[in-house]
Structure 1
Amino acid sequence: MMTALTNNLPDWFRRKRAKQDTPEEEQVESASTTTGGGSDNEPVVVWEAANVMEAQVVKGRLESEGIPAIISSEAVGTIYGLTAGQLAAARVLVPAPLADKALEILFPGDAEDAENASGLDTDESGADTQGPGQ
């Protein structure tokens, strides 16, 4: 009875290939269709939020700058509406090539801090305020 019903459906339940592939061919095909770590566009975490609401704000900020972002969180926290604790935590992920740009947007002062980390203190005029023996 079920065979009669499935014969009328447009290729939904039929095998896609008539011939049997070798295990090596199947492995190559599955590796090219999944994101098992071999892709340059693999998502990376750029922000760990305390809850999904905070992650939504960060995601919106990144998307307003043209960076696609996704939120990863525990399903239990979402189901029970948790807003605090480990189950409420969420991570914001972006494609790996855009991670540096995303971090610059989220942490704009870090670039300036890195420039000032040379060990010399300067005043507003740019003059060295640290003496040679200090």
Structure 2
Amino acid sequence: MPVVKTVGGQAEAAVLKGRLEAEDIPVHLSYDSAGAVYGFSSTHLGRVDIMVPKAFESAARFICGTETDTGPASTDPPPDPGGNEAA
């Protein structure tokens, strides 16, 4: 199963798991048990990998906000097709 997002704690993982399951996407959370027992969230022990079946990867990445964007990187508005740039 691909990891679609890694988060820093159980609380954030639970929220994303709920969002994915609401869209009928099966979810598996992978984490170190010490992080869950002791409540670590800011160290590697608190890390939670959110995993979904390959068939749901694209939709899950979109929902989690980790989809790869192949569009333009600029946030500037597109140029005026008439060539009348504002000064």
TM-score by shorter chain over 0.5: yes
Deviation at 1:91, TM superposition (A): 0.6
3-state secondary structure, aligned to 2:78: coil
Superimposed CA distance per residue, residues 33-71 of structure 1 (whole angstroms, 9 cap, x where no aligned partner): xxxxxxxxxx11001001111111111111111101011
1:118 to 1:78, Cα distance in 2 relative to 1, 3 A: closer
Structure (1/2) with the larger helix percentage:
1
Q: Residue 65 of structure 1 aligns to which amino acid in structure 2? A: E
2: distance between equivalents of 1:70 and 1:130?
Answer: 52
Which of residues 73, 82, 86 is equivalent to 2:44? 86
Q: Structure 2 stretches of 5 or more lacking a match?
A: none
What residue in structure 2 maps to residue 65 of structure 1?
23
Q: TM-score, normalised by structure 2?
A: 0.76
How many residues align structurally? Answer: 83
3-state secondary structure, aligned to 1:87: helix
On the 8 A contact 1:62/1:68 being kept in 2, the answer is yes
Counterpart check, 1:114 vs 2:70: yes
- Larger gyration radius, structure 1 or structure 2: 1
2: distance between equivalents of 1:96 and 1:129?
Answer: 45
Q: TM-score, normalised by structure 1?
A: 0.52
Q: Structure 1 stretches of 5 or more lacking a match?
A: 1-42
* Root mean square deviation of aligned Cα: 3.0
Of all paired residues, the percent bearing the same amino acid is: 28
On the 8 A contact 1:121/1:130 being kept in 2, the answer is no
